[in-house]
Amino acid sequence: MGIGADELLANGAVYYGSSLGRVEGVAKHIAANLGIPTLIDLYDSPLAGAEARRFVVLAMSTWYDGILQDDWREHHAELAELDWSDTIVALVCLGDQYGYPHTFADALGIVAEAVEPGGAALIGNWDPKADPAGYDFRRSRGLRNGRFLGLVLDEDNQSGATDERIRRWCDQIRRELSERC
């Protein structure tokens, strides 16, 4: 008998790196919404052990012209070395679509490119065209086949859309996990 979606969530974890506290706030909101009891700040902890969980959320932000936040940059090589073959991974990224329209949410693509070769099963792709608030950017490394590789939030320009986006995305994650169980 397989593990159910509720059990995956209860034994899951949200890993985040946050310089200004915005990603931490989003990570806490998502963990509470999904019922995930474990939050891990990469500033204090390594990623080792993440791949042993069946479900993880990786929450990050894109800085400047398309680089990872400091904690994620420090752990980037580790991401690529882990065996993610038994892990379902959902990604969340904060970005600034107006200040950096050519590198908006690039961290999403950078992290996905690190975990996919290790076998991570990515869920939670987000359709920017179906989002009621919409997005206005030029390019994103986090976009594949017209969809973001995870939830994308813009706390700089669209903070009013964050709660609804998180709610809708968490509902989507629950559905996708249920389909896999």
Domains along the chain?
5-180 (3.40.50.360)
| pLDDT band at residue 2 under the 50/70/90 scheme | low
The predicted model scores a pTM of 0.96
Count other C-beta atoms under 10 Å from residue 114's C-beta: 22
Report pLDDT for 92.
98
Separation between Cα atoms, residue 77 and residue 84, nearest integer Å: 14
Residues 15-40 have pLDDT tens digits of 999 999 999 999 999 999 999 999 99
Separation between Cα atoms, residue 76 and residue 159, nearest integer Å: 27
Crossing angle, helix 106-115 and helix 70-81, to 10 degrees? Answer: 20
Report pLDDT for 48.
79
Report pLDDT for 81.
94
| pLDDT band at residue 1 under the 50/70/90 scheme | very low
